[in-house]
Amino acid sequence: MKLLQEKFIKLKSRIYPWVRRFLNLSLYWKVGFIIGSCFFINLFIALYFYFLFYHVVNLQTKIPYNYELLTNKALTYLEKKNPSSNPYELKVNLEKILHELEGIKEKYPQISPQIEKIEKIVLQTPSYQYNPKTIKLLEKQFLELNKFFSNERDILENKIKKYKEISKYFQIILILTMLAFLIWGTWSFYYMVKKPLDSIVERLDFLTEEKEEAELKSLEACVLEYSAKDEIGKVINKVNEILTESNTIRLFKRTIENDESAEMVYERLGYYLQYMVGIDSFIIFEVSNSQNTMQAVYVSDPNLDYSSEIIVNPDKCRAKRTGQVVTSINIPNICKVFPFKTTKEHYCIPMMYGGKCIGVIGIYLPKEELLNESKFIEKKLKKAHAFIKETTPVIEAKRYAEALKEQTFRDALTGLYNRHFLEATLENLVAQILRRESILGILMCDLDYFKSINDKYGHDAGDIVLKETAKLLVSNVRKADLVVRFGGEEFLILLVDVKEGESVKVANKLRSIIETHEFRIPQGSVKRTISIGVSEFPIDTQAIWEAIKFADVALYKAKELGRNKVVRFKREFWTEENY
């Protein structure tokens, strides 16, 4: 058994390369081979049947029916005649039969002696000399001829019968052969054409259906398997390429739609362009909502440089200004501000949405690489376009959402966070403080005698003072700290991760800065002071809103003490049992 398996494996290893060569042939040759095989085999069978039919007909014509009948006729004449009968009539009838048997000696040389004997007796013996002995002799000769022709007829008829039996078997073989070729042709068409095309249609339907993320992540769900390298194989390879790219792009789009911010989307786009598409050098620029500035939000290579002109004046960027792809590959030196003109070419793709440019992707391509791999780079750029096309509306949506969020959480006058933002984020901030076991300093600030500015100089002047105060507060605390406009002229400052007692020092610094600052208004300049109440969480209380209330109580204590003061909350300031 093992020996048979080894032989089978060897036979398979010898046959398989030829099968593989056949499968890798062009579909034209494979279909032609199948049709040609059917044609030539059926032609061979048809020719064989024609030959068989021709042979049977030829044998049929060779059967000596007439000669056998003539000899039978002669024997009949001889049996009826006797010496008392008319011998002349017998002679005439026999001569007629001999006349009809003319040429038989050439056809059947073996019976020439019998024919010659009969001719000699009939032609040389006068009719009156026909005696019983002569008739007996003639009967003997004609009987031999009759037996000969009868044997010939039997032989030929047996041959014809044999050919007819063979033709029956060949009819069965013909039907089976035609059936086999029909099955083979159907099977070949199904596996070489129909099944692959059905699979292509099924996978193309995959593109039009909404899929869950788990299905999108499974590339096996859309990749077709087809080992032959014929035309169908080429089509399937192309479809697989399209499906894989489409699946990747759909998964990419689904992912960036769930990203939290536009910054995360830029990061993901940069990652895909660099590691999935294979573009090494590029910069993603974001155009501000006002269209007045640009900034680089993703740089693939720290060594890449760009012109500072387009940052302060985006219209210097031709791609941003025109909303069209700008490349030096086709038009050298088209960009006047491109910094790598001697070593690289650029390919700049604007991110257009609603007729407005929201960003530009500047791709830098080495000139040597363009010469050697132009088609490959063309494919890369095509993929990049696909990813950028899907990213653009998502980024615009994220930016719009962030702008709305900013409008909701920002004070329109000062640009500071408002109470809505404080209410939305305070819980998370407190959780971080407690987890780190640190201290949150709380400063409640109020400009002294602010109402007098509005009354004396007008609300425009009051707005200037508020905006200037906000700037002073923000610029003199850390970036990690939060400055919130809490009310009209009230500001709440949250100092993150401070040491115990440090909040008072920061408050005194801010009080001093405000006290010495001159606020420029249309009517001249004014000075104002600020009162600040200080509490610390969780030193003073475990409840954050209670801590804010304690800072507010300390602020009112500062006002009572004459304003322009910093007062640290003390327990005796609070007479209520609960907040």
pLDDT digits (tens, 9 = 90+) for 210-260: 555 545 455 555 566 666 666 677 777 777 777 778 778 888 888 898 888
Instruction: Name the residues annotated as catalytic.
Output: 489
Give the Cα-Cα-Cα angle 415, 553, 573 (nearest 5 degrees).
160
In the predicted model, residues of the chain with pLDDT beneath 70 are 1-2, 4, 7-8, 11-12, 15-30, 81-85, 127-129, 203-204, 206-231, 291, 406, 575-579
Mean pLDDT for the chain overall? 82
Tell me the torsion sign for CA atoms 382, 388, 391, 392.
negative
In this structure, the number of other CB atoms found within 10 A of the CB of residue 32 comes to 12
End-to-end CA distance of the chain: 93
pLDDT recorded at residue 443:
95
Which CATH architecture fits 419-573? 2-Layer Sandwich (3.30)
Asked if 262-393 and 419-573 have one fold, the answer is no
pTM over 0.95: no
Own/partner pairs for 318-325, CB < 8 Å, 24+ apart? 318/348, 319/348, 319/349, 319/350, 319/357, 319/360, 319/362, 320/285, 320/287, 320/294, 320/350, 320/357, 320/360, 321/357, 322/350, 323/350, 323/352, 323/355, 323/357, 324/350, 325/349, 325/350
- Parse the chain into domains and list their residue ranges: 26-197, 219-255, 262-393, 419-573
Residue 456: Cβ-neighbour burial (10 angstroms; 0-12, 13-18, 19+): exposed
pLDDT digits (tens, 9 = 90+) for 394-431: 998 888 887 777 677 888 888 898 888 888 888 888 99
CATH fold of 262-393, please?
Beta-Lactamase (3.30.450)
536, containing H or E segment? strand 530-537
